[in-house]
Every structure is written in structure tokens, then in C-alpha cells.
Amino acid sequence: MGNPTGFLQVNRALPEDRDPSERLIDWQEIHEHMPDEEIRQQASRCMDCGVPFCQSGISEYAPKVAGCPVNNLIPEWNDLVYRGRWKEALERLHKTNNFPEFTGRVCPAPCEGSCVLGINADPVTIKHHEYAIIERGFEEGWVKPKPPARRTGKKVAIVGSGPAGLACAAQLNQAGHEVTVYERADRIGGLLMYGIPNMKLQKELVQRRLDILAEEGICFVPNTEIGKDISAEELKTQFDSVVVATGATVPRDLPVPGRELKGVHFAMEFLHKNTKSLLDSEHRDGDYINAEGKHVVVIGGGDTGTDCVGTALRHGCASVQQLEIMPKPADARPGDNPWPEWPKVLLVDYGQQEAIARQGGDPRGYLLMTKQLEDDGQGQIAGVHTVNIEWVKDQAGRMTPKEIPGSERIIKADLVLLAMGFLGPEGDLLEQFGIEKDPRSNAKAEYDKFATNVNGVFAAGDARRGQSLIVWAIDEGRRAAREVDKYLIGHSYLP
């Protein structure tokens, strides 16, 4: 703790975002940079709290209780930043996190939700410090490929190149194993490449890290779907171990009349095609779902819904509305949501900020249930038929939605995007491997063991735990790598 009274003297501050009128005409990162001296002052707010809840994310209590799943050494690198010892801060950061340039941009920062200062004041700006440290490392040339000194002769296949797969690959490669990562898309990166829009995570930053991993010796194989292009049996025969890290890619559907209408799409289809077309041709090929001039309705909240709002606005949509079935969150922690639980408070993310700037109001409507999708008479979506609801307990004590009579209305829509979350991994691959599933259709494997019922086959990330955060995916990838390492050589020195 460099400044014992910093948390009393300095108020929380973050760098300004680019003005919406400027950033809505491009696909570049929305955040501005903060001068080093101001970052140092923010780092001084990190107090000697005794027990740093910020750095202790525990799977057993997630997601209710917050904390960093990769156990970042947050007080240590905050202190080093305050003292201007940036290179040492980077070394501490990389000890626990393979990809701080990703988490520093897109992680929702559960660490800040459990910051001790947050009990009665604004928490420390931990996420921004992580971002600042890693970007300083790249600027100074401190982040370089570090191939392993020796090879073990063991070969590992990783199915999926999202954050869990990449973290697992990075760790196993450092242990000296020969690692091959398979990805069915045409670019490596999974969720990082095609699931998160460019303005939130620029793809040259993803490629920057991929290039380093490749120089360190990891083999990347895109355009290859395991189970189709290569069978699961072939993979098990060719490699000493396999890690399934495909993510939870089955979207939750909306079973209402009119679902089959043209103009109704899953959110991830919309986002994937947009980014691919942007990278391939800067949208000149027209091979994407264009929201230009359309009245867009996004059904579902969360990060994916926000990304749909921001993307539709950049296309130049006529309007965008976002429908949520849950109640509007409180402005401050309610009494039944005490620290250090994840704060269930109203957030106005970048997409909503941009909609407010463009349309004059928050695009979100709460406690709205979709009853059906309206046809224009030619098989095209024309509107969303909604009804207001309230949540009540049924006879079994479960909360269920109850319609409010007389509250039905039709919202004009030319494009409807379903952003209601994900149900689990696609089942065909798990079945080919013979992997048992848990009751939620995920690969059945114990946390911190990650071994499936199939000898030598492991599962990690959303494919094992279900839809979750990028930082949990990195945590699982790292922990799974350690278990694979033990399986291959009998012990592991991986952290």
C-alpha cells in the first residue's frame, strides 16, 4: 500500500469514453486513455484491507459472491503501479492471467464488486489498472514470445479456440507439450474473435496475442470441425490427451408463434456475421445481417443484448429497443444483496449510452414478455406482441411470470434479435467422444479435476460449466492444463 490515506483523499475516476456521435460512425475501441499520473493516483486508493476479497473468486460460491476467478494479485500490482514500477506489475499480472488485455476490456470486473473499499465508498478501478499495465507492457516491448526450453514429446489437442481453449493451450505449451488447437471458424479466437464486437475488443489485439502464442510453438488449425472434418476417435488416436473447450453455443430460443418469420435471428448469428464481414471487407461484401434503416428489437439483456444494440446503432438503424423480462435493477445495492456479493444494480453500458445519445432515452423496457411475433402478411417480421408481467410465487414457491391484463401492445419491428443466453454445448461432439453430460447438458467433469468419463479427455470453460464469464473460462483453461499435465507426466509445476 503505497499511500496509506489514498482511499480517503482520492475519488474514483475512469478515463472518458469517446463521444457517442464520434464512435457510432466507426468500429474502433470506445475507451480513451488516462494519463499515467492519474492512474497512479487511482492505484493509491487500494487500501491495506487485510483480507483482499478482490482476488479470491471461488467456484463454489460463484456467481453470487464476487472476486477474481484467476486470483489476480490485485493489491500487489496496484501498489507497484502507484510506485511507477510498471514492469514488475506486469510480471505479477502475468503470473495469474494469460490474457489481461482481454479481461481488462471485456470482463465485468467481479473483483470490483468485492473490493473492501466498496463497502461504503466507490471501489478501486481494478479493471482499468489491469488494462493499463498490459498495454504499457506491449508499448514498452516487455511482452515477448517465450517458447519452452524443452519439449516432453507429449501431444495435446484442444477443441475450441475461445478463452478457455487458449488459456489451456498457453499453459500446456509452457509445460513443454506439443499443443494443437482446432477451430471450426475461419479465424482463431472463438468468442474473442467473433462473439464480441470490434468496438469492445479490437480484433488486431486478439491477433496480437495469437501471433505470440504461435511463435511460442502452439499450432492453430482453423476451418476444422471436430466430429465432421476429423472424428473424435481419430483425435484420440493421434494425441495423448484431448481438451474439449467448445463453449456453450446452443442459444436459448423463443417458442412463440411467428418465430419462423424472416428477420428473426439469434444474437450470435447477427454478431458473428457482422464481425466477419467487417474483417473480410469492411462490410463491402454485404454478407451480414444489416440493421440499416430498420426498427430493431433485441429480446434479452446482458452483454450480448448490449452488443446487439451497439452494433445495430452503428449500422444506422431507425430505432432500437431492448426487452427484458426481469425487473429493473435498483440504483444502489438492495438490502438482500450485501457486499461482497455481486452488486445487482442498474448498469448503463456502452450500448445503452449510445442509444440514449442517439434516441434520447434508455432503450430498455422491463417486465415485458413476448407473446408472439407479428407477420406482415408476406412472411416477414412486422412487430413484437408483448405483455407486461409481474413475478409471483406459485404453489411450489417458485417465482413465475403473471400477465397484467390490459397491458398488451405491439412494438414495430423489422429485425428481431434473440439474446436470451445459452443452454450449453452442442451435443454431437460430446456424444462422439462418449462424454457423459450433467443435468444441464454440459460435459460432466468435476471442477479442478476437469477429467471426463473418457480416459485422457478433459473439458473446460463454458462447455463444462455452462454460460459464464471470460475470466472463469481463463481460470478453467489454466486449471485444466495443470490436470492434463499431471495426466501426461505424473506431476505438474504449472500454477
Give the amino acid at 152: T
- For CA atoms 157, 160, 165, 169, the dihedral sign is positive
* Contact (CB, 8 A) for 83 and 139: no
- Other Cβ atoms less than 10 A from the Cβ of 449: the count is 12
Which residue, 75, 88, 15, is CA-closest to 43? 75
CATH number of 6-140: 1.10.1060.10
- For CA atoms 210, 191, 441, 58, the dihedral sign is positive
Q: Which three cell numbers stand for residue 14?
A: 475512469
The pLDDT of residue 1: 66
How does the average pLDDT of the chain come out, rounded? 96
The predicted-structure confidence for 215-244, as pLDDT tens digits, reads as follows 999 999 999 999 999 999 999 999 999 999
The predicted-structure confidence for 95-108, as pLDDT tens digits, reads as follows 999 999 999 999 99
What's the mean pLDDT in 348-372? 97
Which residue, 250, 251, 248, 230, is CA-closest to 433? 230
CA distances (Å), origin 458, targets 31, 158, 192, 308: 38, 9, 22, 33
What CA–CA distance (Å, rounded) separates 452 from 460?
A: 10
Percent of the chain with pLDDT over 70: 99
DSSP lists the bridge partners of residue 319 as: 295
What CATH architecture applies to the domain 155-249+423-489? 3-Layer(bba) Sandwich (3.50)
The predicted-structure confidence for 53-63, as pLDDT tens digits, reads as follows 999 888 777 66
The helix/strand/coil state of 486 is: helix
Cis-peptide into 63, omega within 30 deg: yes
pLDDT above 80: residue 488: yes
Split at pLDDT 50, 70, 90, the class of 21 is confident
149-153, 350-354, 427-431, 434-438: range with lowest mean pLDDT: 427-431
DSSP lists the bridge partners of residue 391 as: 401
Domain locations in the chain as residue ranges: 6-140, 155-249+423-489, 253-420
The pLDDT of residue 50: 86
Residues in CB range of 381: below 8 A, 6 or more apart? 258, 261, 262, 263, 264, 373, 374, 375, 413, 414, 415, 416
Q: Which three cell numbers stand for residue 178?
A: 506439443
Residue keyed to cell 475470466: 471
Q: Which three cell numbers stand for residue 119?
A: 463497502
The pLDDT of residue 427: 80
Q: Which helix (H) or strand (E) holds 464?
A: helix 462-465
- For CA atoms 482, 485, 491, 495, the dihedral sign is negative
Residues in CB range of 465: below 8 A, 6 or more apart? 442, 447, 472, 476
The predicted-structure confidence for 194-204, as pLDDT tens digits, reads as follows 999 999 999 99
pLDDT above 70: residue 294: yes
What CA–CA distance (Å, rounded) separates 459 from 452?
A: 7
Q: Which three cell numbers stand for residue 420?
A: 436470451
What CA–CA distance (Å, rounded) separates 353 from 19?
A: 10
The helix/strand/coil state of 327 is: coil
Split at pLDDT 50, 70, 90, the class of 66 is confident
DSSP classification of residue 428:
H
What CA–CA distance (Å, rounded) separates 241 from 221?
A: 17
The pLDDT of residue 244: 98
The predicted-structure confidence for 394-407, as pLDDT tens digits, reads as follows 988 899 999 999 99
Count the helix, strand and coil residues of the chain and give each as a percent rounded to the nearest 5.
35, 20, 45
The superfamily (CATH) of domain 253-420 is: FAD/NAD(P)-binding domain (3.50.50.60)
Which residue, 359, 293, 292, 290, is CA-closest to 322? 359
- How does 335-347 read in b/e, with b if 16+ C-beta sit within 10 Å? eeeebbbbbeeee
The pLDDT of residue 57: 80
What CA–CA distance (Å, rounded) separates 104 from 179?
A: 26
Fold matches, 6-140 and 253-420: no
DSSP lists the bridge partners of residue 180 as: 157, 219
